[in-house]
Amino acid sequence: MFQNIDLEKYDVTGQVPVEETEKQYYYMAKARGHVQNLAAELGRRPTCCVTTFGCQMNARDSEKLVGILELVGYEITEDENADFVIYNTCTVRDNANQKVYGRLGVLQNYKKKNPHMKIALCGCMMQEPSVIEKIKKSYRFVDLIFGTHNIFKFAELLCGLFENEGMLIDIWEDTDKIVEDLPVERKFPFKSGINIMFGCNNFCSYCIVPYVRGRERSRNPKDIIREIEKLVADGVVEIMLLGQNVNSYGKNLEEPMSFAQLLQEIEKIEGLQRIRFMTSHPKDLSDELIQVMKNSKKICKHLHLPVQAGSTKILTGMNRRYTKEQYLELALKIRREIPDIAITTDIIVGFPGETLEDVQETIDVIEKVQYDNAFTFIYSKRTGTPAAAMENQVPEEIVKEGFDKVLKCVQETARKQVSKYEGMVMDALVEEINEHDSSLVTGRLSNNTIVHFPGDASLIGKIVDVKLEECHGFYYMGHRV
C-alpha cells in the first residue's frame, strides 16, 4: 500500500515539508538516493533483513519498516548476513531480551567480514534506559537505535544513518502522535493486521508494555476504515484488528465510539470476509460486543480472553481488576451466547505470592471454561514494574511444579475442544502449502484451528469448505467438499 507513490516529485535539495507524512516521503526520496549510491559502490542492490521478536504489534511495525525499505531500494532477504539488519525487539519476558543479546554476537561476526554492514535495533526493548546503557557500553558496533514511538520517522533516521558516523540513538519517552498513510509491505497478500489503537493504560502489575508502548491512543475510525478498504481492494480477505486492549477502543476519541460500534462499521466493508481482533481485556468486554459477535457474519468464532490467573488474591495483586467469579461468569456467558466460539487465553504461573493452592484455582478455571488453546508463561520479573518490587517472589521449583500442572490441564482441554468438530464441514482460509507435504495446503478455520488437506498454490488466499476428517491433537486432516 502506498508503494506506488511517486518519490520523484520530492525535491531533496529543497525545503523539508512540515506535514509529517509528506516529510517522511521527502526523506524516503532522499534515502533512495543514498541506497542508489551504495548500490553503485557495491555493484549490486544492497540487501536488508528485518527480524521480528514479540507480538503481532511488532509484526505489524516490521511490515511498516519493510514497506519503507523496499520503497527506498533495498532487496529484502531472510538472511541476517545482509548489508542492513534490523532487530525489532520485545521485552515482555526476560528470555525475549536474552535472545536479542545472543544474536547480536552473531551479527558482530558478520559485520567484521562486511564493513558496509549496518545494524539497527528498535522496538520495545529500546524503550528501557538500562538496555540503551548496556548497548552503548558492550555493543558498540550497533549503528542505529530507535524506539516504539518514533518508528514513523524511520526514513528520516535512515538518512541520518547514511549522513553521520557513529551510533545514532533516537528514543522518545511517549507520544500522542499517530502518523497515517506511510508505506507498508504485507507478509501475506490475503490477510493483514491493522492497528486500531496504540499503547496501554492498564498497568497490570507484572507487565512492562505500558512503560514501553506509552499511553493508550485510538486511531480515528475513518482512518481505520479507509485503510481496510484499501487492503480489501488489494486482495485482503481477513483482517486482525490490533490493540493491547481492544475493548477500550475509542474512549479517548473526540467523538467517542465503542469497539462494538467500530466492528459494525468494519462489517459493512464489501469484499472483506473475516474479522479477527486481539486482545480483549475481560474487565472491559461488554454485552454489546457479545451481541455484535453473535450476530456478525464476518467476525471469526474466536475470542482470546487472557485470564492470567485463577485465584482472586493473585488477580488483585496483578491489578487485573476482575475476580475469578467475574471472569468465569463472563466466559460462561460467552459460551452460552455463542456456543461454537473458541475461547483461548494467556496464563502466568509464578506471580509473587502464588501458592500451589492458587495454581489449583487456575486449573479450576481451565476446567470450567474448557479453553480451546492457552499460552502458558512462567512469570518473568520486569524491572520497574510494581510486581518486581514485591517481596514474596516464588521459588523456581514451586513455579515449575505449578507450570507443569497447568500445561497438562490446558493440553487436555484443548485436545477435547478442538476434536469437537470432527466429521463436520467448515470454511477454511488457505494460507500456505503444507510445510512437510507439498501435495497438501494448510488452512485456518474461523475458530483459529488449522486444517491440512489436498490442494495446490492456486487455493492460497481463498476460503473453501473443508470436511474435518481426522483430529490429530491440535489440528485436523481433511478434504475439500
Q: In the complex, what is the shortest distance from the CB of residue 372 to ligand SAH, in angstroms, rounded to a whole number?
A: 16
Residue choice 209, 246, 314, 429 for contact with ligand SF4 (CB under 6 A): 209
Q: In the complex, what is the shortest distance from the CB of residue 55 to ligand SF4, in angstroms, rounded to a whole number?
A: 9
Tell whether residue 346 is a contact of ligand SAH (CB under 6 A). yes
Q: In the complex, what is the shortest distance from the CB of residue 289 to ligand SF4, in angstroms, rounded to a whole number?
A: 16
Per CB under 6 A, which of residues 220..259 are in contact with ligand SF4? 244-245
Tell whether residue 214 is a contact of ligand F3S (CB under 6 A). no
Q: In the complex, what is the shortest distance from the CB of residue 59 to ligand F3S, in angstroms, rounded to a whole number?
A: 9
Q: What number of CA atoms fall less than 13 Å from residue 367's CA on the CB side?
A: 10
Residue 382 interface partner, choices ligand SF4, ligand F3S, ligand SAH, none, CB cut-off 5-8 Å depending on type: ligand SAH
Per CB under 6 A, which of residues 194..213 are in contact with ligand F3S? 209, 212-213
Position with the least CB separation from ligand F3S = 54
Tell whether residue 246 is a contact of ligand F3S (CB under 6 A). no
- Written as nine digits, the cell of 132 is 540503551
Residue choice 244, 248, 413, 446 for contact with ligand SAH (CB under 6 A): 244
One character per residue 187-206, x = contact with ligand SAH (rule: CB under 6 A):
-------------------x
Nearer to ligand F3S, 184 or 293 (CB): 184
Q: Which stretch binds ligand SF4 (CB under 6 A): 7-15, 198-206, 224-232, 436-444?
A: 198-206
Tell whether residue 359 is a contact of ligand SAH (CB under 6 A). no
One character per residue 266-285, x = contact with ligand SF4 (rule: CB under 6 A):
---------------x----
Nearer to ligand SF4, 140 or 215 (CB): 215
Please give the residue ranges that form the binding site for ligand SF4 (CB under 6 A): 200, 202-204, 207, 209-210, 244-245, 281
Please give the residue ranges that form the binding site for ligand F3S (CB under 6 A): 54-55, 57-58, 90-92, 124, 209, 212-213
Please give the residue ranges that form the binding site for ligand SAH (CB under 6 A): 92-93, 206-207, 209, 244-245, 279, 281, 306, 308, 346, 348, 377, 379-380, 382
